[in-house]
C-alpha cells in the first residue's frame, strides 16, 4: 500500500511511529520534527531495533537550497565513540556488559537536528511536543509487532541469558510475548519525561548521565561520565556520484555509504536496463559490483577523524569515487563468472524512516542498536537498552578499525537519496548490516534504471550476499520470487545460491519516499513485516 499527498508524507517501520510523525506534520512541524517524534515512539514500540542507547545518521534535503554545491543535501553523524579504557577483562564481547564499550550518539544527533529545524526550517515544536507521545505509550504499554515477535523467537536462547531484556520480551506475568499481549517500559517513560523537562543534554551531562555512569561502573564496561560528556554529533559533507540522469548521495565514513556508492558507480558504467529486469545477468551485475566493495570496506573502513596511526592518516576516500576509479571497478566485473567471496558478514539491526513536509523538505533518519536487542543490557533504572556497536571494532590491533580511546567504530548505517535532473527526488534506505547496500542497489536500479513504481520496487525480490545479521552462511541468498530461471542462471555463473521464502524479514525492512517534479509525494514502507496485515506506513496528509 502506498501513501500519496501533495503536502506531507512519512514512512516508518511501525504504524504508531508513523502516526506520531504525521501528527507533527499536521501541526505545522517540519520533516525533522516528524522524524524526532517517530524515532522517540520507536523506542517505545520497536525496542529490539532502535532506542535512546544507539547511534544515528541523518540525511536532510531542502529543495530551496538546490543551487548549493551539494544541491541542498546535508548529513548529520550521530556516532558514539569508544571509552578511554577497555571493559573489565580487557576485551570487547559481542553481547553483554563488555559490549557496552562505546557511547550512544543518537540523542546528540537529535539535538543537532532539532536546532536545524528550529533555526533554519522554521519549527516551533518543543521537546514536550515531540517526546510526550512516546513517554505515554511506553508507560501504558503496547502490543509487540510482528518484527518484535520474529526476532524474539529467533533470539530466545540468547535472551534467556540476558535478563535485562525481560521487560521487552515478557509480559507482566513473566510469559514470553505473543500476539495480542502487551509489554511496558515504565522506566523508559520516566527517562523520556526527564528529557522533556531538562533537555537532551541531560543524557550526556545531567541526571540521566550520572545514572548511566553509575550503571557503567556497576557492569564494568569501561565507559565513564567523561566519555558521555565528550560525545558529539556533527554535520559532514555528503558523498555523491553521477548516476544516469541525476546524482546519487550517501553518507561519508565511518558510514559504509562510500561502498554503496562505489558499487552503484561500477553498475552505472554500463546500461543495466539492457540486461533485463530480474534476470540472472541483472542480479549477477549487482552482486559482482557489491562483492569487492564489501571486501574493500572490511579492509579499509574506519573513523577518518582518528589520526593516531600513520598507516591510515590522510585517507583519501573521495578518490575511490572518481570516474576513472569507478570505471576500473566496472572493468573488473566478469560477466560470465562469479568472483570468489571470502568475506564474513557484518551483523546489524536498524530502522530507516523518512518524512517530507509541505515545504518539500525531507529528513531521512537511520538509527540502530547494531545487533537486534543491542548489547542486551538495560542500564540502571533508565530503561535504556544500550547498543553493542563497539563489537564492530576490528580485533586486530593493526587494523584501521581497531579499537582506540575516543575512536568511532566503522558503521553499517547509510541512507541514500537521488536527485534527478528533472527535479524529481528519491529517498530510500533499509535495515540489515551488509544487506543495506545490497537492498539499496535493488531499490536504486528499480527506481532509476527501470522506472519501477515505488510499490513494485519495494516488493522486488532481493539478494543478500553473506551471513549478515541472521547467522546464516556466507553464500548468496535470494528470495524465491526471483524465479527458477534466474536461480539456475546464477548457479551456472558460479554463485553458491540459497533460496529464502519471498518477502522474508531476513531481507530487511526498506522504505521509499518519491517526490515527482510537480511536487506530488509517494511513501511506501516494506511489506516484509506487517502488523495485523496492515501496512506499516501512514497515509500522509490529505490532499
Report the catalytic residues: 350
For residue 468, give the C-alpha cell. 549478515
> What is the CA angle 382-17-45, rounded to 5?
45
CA separation for the pair 317, 392 (Å, rounded): 20
Residues 378 and 366 sit within 8 Å (Cβ to Cβ): no
Q: Name all contacts of 450-455 with Cβ < 8 Å and 24+ positions apart.
A: 450/273, 450/277, 452/277, 454/2, 454/512, 454/514, 454/522, 454/523, 454/524, 455/1, 455/2, 455/524
Residue environment code for 465-504, b if the CB has 16+ CB neighbours within 10 A, otherwise e: bbbbbbeeeeebbbbebbeeebbebbeebebebeebeebb
Residues 173 and 182 sit within 8 Å (Cβ to Cβ): no
230, with CB counted inside 10 A (0-12, 13-18, 19+), is middle
Q: Which of 318, 207, 255 is nearest to 109 (CA)?
A: 255
Q: Which of 200, 208, 167 is nearest to 39 (CA)?
A: 200
Q: Which of 137, 166, 94, 106 is nearest to 393 (CA)?
A: 94
Segments in 100-238 forming alpha helices (H)? 106-119, 127-140, 146-154, 156-159, 166-169, 186-198, 202-205, 207-219, 225-229
DSSP state of 385: E
CA separation for the pair 193, 137 (Å, rounded): 12
274, with CB counted inside 10 A (0-12, 13-18, 19+), is exposed
SS3 of 368, please?
Answer: strand
Whether the CA torsion 273, 517, 62, 509 is positive or negative: it is negative
Residues 33 and 125 sit within 8 Å (Cβ to Cβ): yes
**35-51-201-32 Cα dihedral, nearest 10 degrees:** -10
CA separation for the pair 387, 81 (Å, rounded): 12
CA separation for the pair 433, 427 (Å, rounded): 19
Residues 398 and 291 sit within 8 Å (Cβ to Cβ): no
Amino acid at each position: 500500500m502506498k501513501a500519496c499527498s501533495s503536502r506531507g508524507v512519512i514512512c516508518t517501520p511501525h504504524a504508531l511511529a508513523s502516526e506520531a510523525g504525521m501528527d507533527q506534520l499536521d501541526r505545522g512541524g517540519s520533516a525533522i520534527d516528524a522524524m524526532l517524534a517517530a524515532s522517540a515512539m520507536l523506542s517505545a514500540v520497536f525496542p529490539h531495533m532502535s532506542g535512546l542507547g544507539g547511534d544515528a545518521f541523518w540525511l536532510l534535503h531542502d529543495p530551496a537550497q538546490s543551487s548549493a554545491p551539494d544541491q541542498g543535501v546535508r548529513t548529520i553523524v550521530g556516532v558514539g565513540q569508544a571509552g578511554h579504557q577497555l571493559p573489565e577483562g580487557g576485551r570487547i564481547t559481542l553481547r553483554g556488559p563488555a559490549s557496552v564499550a562505546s557511547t550512544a550518539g543518537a540523542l546528540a544527533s537529535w539535538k543537532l537536528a532539532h536546532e536545524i529545524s528550529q533555526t533554519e526550517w522554521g519549527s516551533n515544536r518543543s521537546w514536550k511536543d515531540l517526546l510526550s507521545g512516546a513517554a505515554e505509550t511506553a508507560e501504558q504499554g503496547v502490543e509487540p509487532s510482528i518484527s518484535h515477535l520474529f526476532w524474539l523467537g529467533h533470539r530466545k536462547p540468547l535472551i534467556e541469558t540476558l535478563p535485562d531484556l525481560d521487560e521487552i520480551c515478557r509480559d507482566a506475568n513473566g510469559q514470553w510475548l505473543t500476539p495480542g499481549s502487551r509489554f511496558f517500559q515504565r522506566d523508559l517513560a520516566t527517562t523520556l519525561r526527564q528529557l522533556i523537562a531538562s533537555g537532551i543534554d541531560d543524557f550526556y551531562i545531567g541526571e540521566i548521565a550520572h545514572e548511566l555512569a553509575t550503571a557503567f561502573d556497576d557492569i564494568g564496561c569501561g565507559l565513564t561520565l567523561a566519555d558521555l560528556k565528550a560525545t558529539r554529533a556533527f554535520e559532514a559533507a555528503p558523498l555523491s556520484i553521477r548516476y544516469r540522469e541525476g546524482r546519487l548521495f550517501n553518507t561519508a565514513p565511518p558510514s559504509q555509504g562510500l561502498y554503496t556508492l562505489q558499487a552503484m558507480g561500477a553498475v552505472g558504467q554500463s546500461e543495466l536496463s539492457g540486461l533485463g529486469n530480474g534476470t540472472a545477468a541483472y542480479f549477477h551485475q549487482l552482486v559482482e559490483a557489491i562483492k569487492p566493495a564489501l571486501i574493500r570496506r572490511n579492509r579499509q573502513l574506519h573513523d577518518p577523524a582518528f589520526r593516531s596511526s600513520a598507516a591510515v592518516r590522510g585517507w583519501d576516500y573521495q578518490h575511490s569515487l572518481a570516474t576513472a576509479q569507478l570505471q576500473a571497478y566496472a572493468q573488473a566485473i566478469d560477466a560470465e563468472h562469479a568472483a570468489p567471496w571470502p568475506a564474513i558478514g557484518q551483523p546489524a539491526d536498524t530502522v530507516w524512516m523518512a518524512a517530507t513536509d509541505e515545504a518539500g523538505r525531507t529528513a531521512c533518519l537511520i538509527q540502530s542498536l547494531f545487533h537486534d536487542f543491542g548489547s542486551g543490557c538495560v542500564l540502571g533504572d533508565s530503561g535504556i537498552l544500550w547498543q553493542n556497536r563497539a563489537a564492530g571494532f576490528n580485533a586486530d590491533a593493526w587494523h584501521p578499525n581497531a579499537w582506540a580511546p575516543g575512536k568511532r567504530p566503522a558503521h553499517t548505517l547509510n541512507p541514500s537519496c537521488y536527485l534527478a535532473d528533472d527535479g524529481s527526488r528519491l529517498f530510500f534506505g533499509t535495515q540489515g548490516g551488509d544487506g543495506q547496500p545490497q537492498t539499496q542497489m535493488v531499490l536504486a536500479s528499480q527506481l532509476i534504471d527501470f522506472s519501477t513504481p515505488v510499490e513494485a520496487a519495494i516488493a522486488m525480490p532481493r539478494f543478500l550476499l553473506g551471513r549478515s545479521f541472521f547467522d546464516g552462511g556466507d553464500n548468496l541468498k535470494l528470495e524465491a520470487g526471483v524465479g527458477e530461471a534466474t536461480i539456475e542462471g546464477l548457479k551456472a555463473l558460479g554463485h553458491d545460491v540459497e533460496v529464502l521464502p519471498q518477502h522474508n524479514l531476513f531481507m530487511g525492512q526498506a522504505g521509499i519516499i518519491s517526490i515527482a517534479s510537480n511536487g506530488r509525494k509517494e511513501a511506501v514502507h516494506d511489506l516484509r513485516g506487517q502488523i495485523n496485515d496492515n501496512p506499516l506506513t501512514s497515509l500522509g496528509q490529505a490532499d
